[in-house]
Chain A
Amino acid sequence: MTAFPLDPRALTNDVSSEPIRAGFGRGLLAAGELDERVVALCADLTDSTQMHLFKDRFPRRFVQVGVAEQNLVTVASGMARAGKIPFTSSYAAFSPGRNWEQFKTTAALNDQPVTIVGSHAGINVGPDGATHQMLEDIALMRVIPNTRVIAPADSIEAEKATRALASDPGPSYIRLARDATPVFTTADSPFEIGKAYVLRSGTDISIITTGTMTYQGLLAAEILADRGLSAEVVHVPTIKPLDEETILNSIRKTRYAATIEEAQIAGGLGSAVAELASLRCPIPIDRFGMKDRFGESGTPAKLLEVFRLTGPQLADDIEQCVRERTAAASLAAPTEVADALAH
């Protein structure tokens, strides 16, 4: 297996940062240059969802629909039927928050290549508070058949994912974030719809992550290594369709998984991994993310800390979970993890 290229500054203080949505804006522009069927629709958030780049370059292919998210995806469905490849953007809280049925019926069931671009997902929305912090979107979209769900980890990956969606059109949801987050992948890092990537190899535990939490998962793995726990980090940018083999290869080796997502743990990535594992590799899994509660106002950094979604906190919590599970299990049968912890 070839190593997944990470920016050499990825885990240093020199790592650069940029909002994931900025990569989407560049990706859409590039997709528009490549294929004139690509069109963009926005519900009155053109700049903040980064569609202005496309709008300025292709004004005739940009459609302002106003604050009307139900119309946003249904107009897009009609445009798709007329031969276009529509990207529709708003805040994730409103789209898919307000147009889930319209997407399900007129895009997914109707098999039209409409992409919902949910900007401002997760608690990193910050001061706007709980109403604007979309945490349920992965669960909502993952249950719709014929729908792809993608949560890029940084702006570089978001650009690649956007271009990939445009060149392989189908009903899709892509999840973006408002706040600037570390840019740790590179232009050479691979991205394919439906593929998960091992960013760091390990033998004791699997840390399985998506979106903004992949970076925090890498930080946690680094800290755990110092404590004698070898963590493999599996980045899952495509939550649906799930790259089952890459995940199974990791958990068959480590026999333990911690999943991390900036979303409700009910129905999200952690649930997807648990569903897979329960059938094909039953192992203990701890799920980290938003645990059945709403967010609130605060700076993104403060909120990540409050909800224990920073790398150091995750390292502590994962280690504790592993110790507790090991203590319980080692009474019966010592495991490799117990051996590692014993040293």
Chain B
Amino acid sequence: MITRESVVHSDEDLKRIAGTIRRDIISMLAAAKSGHSAGPLGMAELLAVLYFHSMLHDPQNPDWDKRDVFYLSNGHTAPVLYAAMARAGYFPVDELQTLRQFGSRLQGHPERLALPGLESTSGPLGSGLSQAAGYAYVLQEIDQVNQRWVYTIMGDGEINEGNVWEAAMFAGKYALGNLIAFIDRNNIQIDGSTEDVMPLRDLRGKWESFDWHVLEIDGNNVRSIIDAIGLAKAVTAKPTMIIANTVPGKGVPFMEYNHRWHGMPPTSEQADIALLALEGATAP
């Protein structure tokens, strides 16, 4: 039987899993010849912790009524989600190579009806936090179910969207303590630096003013992520926003910190170089 304890992996395992997810991302994108590189690479630890430590879920029973719920709001980072789900056992790892191909269950942006285990269909930005809040509202205010948490990840560029701030007000008003949101704070979006395109400036202050519990962490450090989720669960009177500072393109030196890799896949030659770098980074 799956329990909260049985899903927990050690920090060392989680680091290793994050490395595996990164290699999956590179090989998927190279095979697909289109897709987004930087964001997914930066989010590998977040997904590793959610799927291999913090979330109660059962890959054999995706609609299990005791599961924790995860909404990927920035749907363009689908490769990191698909890799985590495959490694967790939702579908065969080989299927990752079908990303973005005709007939694949791994659509360019996640589609719930295509792939069991997805909670929603996402891609158009700004709508994941609202859906997560709606789910959390039902659990907390209507069905009054305890011990289930609702997670979502947004990109930092994504929060340019007005829909996000509508959700911020909503979750703050209803004090959704079972809602744990992340902002993948990697400082890039398609057209450049987030602070050039549309400055986000004091993110902590913004969310605190909406009555959120706000944490800022190193989003590429599995222990920091685990501890932040623990703190989020401890604060039951407010929703929690975890600002996860991540390195875009993490692990692939020629992609790191470069906004040009936001929406671009590696060529097969670049993928070989990237995989070598990732092998080295995760070698014992």
Does A76 belong to the interface (CB within 8 Å)?
yes
| B130 close to A71 (CB less than 8 A) | yes
Number of A-B contacts (CB under 8 A): 102
Q: Does A186 contact B (CB under 8 A)?
A: no
Cβ contacts under 8 Å, B139 to chain A: 82
User: Does B138 count as interface, using CB distance less than 8 angstroms?
Assistant: yes
| Size bracket of the A interface | 20 to 34
The answer to whether B124 touches A81 (Cβ under 8 A) is no
Q: Which of B69, B120, B138 has the most CB of A within 10 A?
A: B138
B142–A39 touching, CB < 8 Å: yes
Q: Are B130 and A109 in contact (CB under 8 A)?
A: no
Docked complex: A63-95 residues within 8 A CB-CB of B: 63, 65-66, 68, 70-71, 74-84
Which of B138, B167, B169, B173 sits near A74, CB closer than 8 Å? B167
Greatest chain A CB density within 10 A among B112, B127, B134 is at: B134
- Chain B residue at minimal CB-CB distance from A86: B134
Tell me how many residues of B have a C-beta within 8 Å of chain A.
33
- Determine if B170 and A60 form an interchain contact, defined as CB atoms under 8 angstroms apart: no
Chain B residues whose C-beta falls within 8 Å of the C-beta of A106 in the assembled complex: 120-122, 127, 131
Residue in A60, A68, A109 whose beta carbon sits within 8 Å of that of B121 in the complex: A109
- In the complex, per-residue mask of A167-183: 1 if CB is within 8 Å of any chain B CB, else 0: 00000000000000000
Contacts of A39 in B (CB 8 A): 138, 142
CB of A335 within 8 A of chain B?
Answer: no
Report if B196 contacts A (CB, 8 A).
no
Least distance between B157 CB and chain A CB atoms (Å)? 17
Is the CB of A35 closer than 8 A to any CB of chain B?
A: no
The listed residue with most A CB atoms (<10 A of its CB), out of B113, B121, B124, B127, is B127
Question: A82 to B134, alpha carbons, bound, how many Å?
Answer: 8
DSSP majority for the A interface?
helix
Known: A78-B132, A79-B137, A81-B120. A61 touches B142 (CB 8 A): yes
> In the complex, what's the smallest C-beta–C-beta distance from A25 to chain B, in angstroms?
21
Q: Chain B 164-199 against A: per-residue CB contact (8 Å), 1 yes, 0 no?
A: 001101100100000000000000000000000000
- Judged by a CB distance under 8 angstroms, whether A271 is at the interface is no
A311 smallest CB distance to B (angstroms): 43
B126 touches A105 (CB 8 A): no
For A292, the chain B residues whose CB sits under 8 A away are: none
B 104-129 to A, binary, CB cutoff 8 A, 1 in contact else 0? 00000001110000011111101100
**Bound Cα distance from A110 to B111, whole angstroms:** 7
A83, B148: Cα distance in complex, Å: 15
Q: List, sorted by A's number, 27 A–B pairs whose CB atoms are closer than 8 Å.
A: A39-B142, A60-B141, A60-B142, A61-B142, A65-B166, A65-B170, A70-B126, A70-B166, A71-B167, A75-B167, A75-B170, A78-B130, A78-B131, A78-B135, A78-B138, A79-B135, A81-B69, A81-B119, A81-B120, A81-B135, A83-B138, A102-B163, A105-B122, A105-B123, A105-B124, A106-B121, A110-B121
- Give the A-binding residues of B (Cβ under 8 A): 69, 71, 111-113, 119-124, 126-127, 130-139, 141-143, 162-163, 166-167, 169-170, 173
